[in-house]
Amino acid sequence: MTTRLERTVTYGILALFSVIALTPVIGILSTAFGSQNSLHTGFSLPEGGLHWSNFADAWNRGHFGTYLGNSVLVTAAVVAATTVLAVLAAYAFGVMRFPGSTVLFYLFVIGLTLPQEALVVPLYFDLRYAELTDTYWALILPQTAQSLAFGVFWMRTYFRGSARAVIEAARIDGANSWTTLWRVLVPMGRPAISTMVVITFMWTWNEFLMALVMVSGEAHRTVPLGLAFFQGQHSSDAALLAAASVLIALPVVVVYVALQRRFIEGMLGGAVKE
- Shortest reach from residue 130's CB to other proteins, in Å: 8
Applying CB under 8 A, does 217 fall inside the site for other proteins? yes
Q: How many CB atoms lie within 10 A of CB 251?
A: 17
Radius of gyration over every alpha carbon of the chain, rounded to an integer in angstroms: 23
Q: How far is 80 from 200, CA to CA, in rounded Å?
A: 10
# residues contacting other proteins (CB under 8 A): 127
Applying CB under 8 A, does 7 fall inside the site for other proteins? yes
Q: How far is 7 from 52, CA to CA, in rounded Å?
A: 41
Q: How far is 33 from 111, CA to CA, in rounded Å?
A: 42
Give the per-residue contact string, 163-202, with other proteins (x = CB under 8 A; - = no). Answer: -x--x---------x------------------------x
The correct pick among 33, 195, 242, 262 for binding other proteins (CB under 8 A) is: 242
**Which CB atom, from 56 or from 110, has the smaller least distance to other proteins?**
110
CB within 8 A of 50, min separation 6: which ones?
33
- Smallest Cα–Cα separation from 64: which of 229, 219, 244? 244
Span of 33-41, 46-54, 72-80, 189-197 interacting with other proteins by CB under 8 A:
33-41
Q: What is the DSSP string of 111-140?
A: TTTS-HHHHHHHHHHHHHHTT-TTSHHHHH
Q: Which of residues 47-76 bind other proteins (CB under 8 A)?
A: none
- Shortest reach from residue 156's CB to other proteins, in Å: 9
Applying CB under 8 A, does 46 fall inside the site for other proteins? no
Applying CB under 8 A, does 142 fall inside the site for other proteins? yes
Q: Which of residues 97-126 bind other proteins (CB under 8 A)?
A: 97-99, 101-126
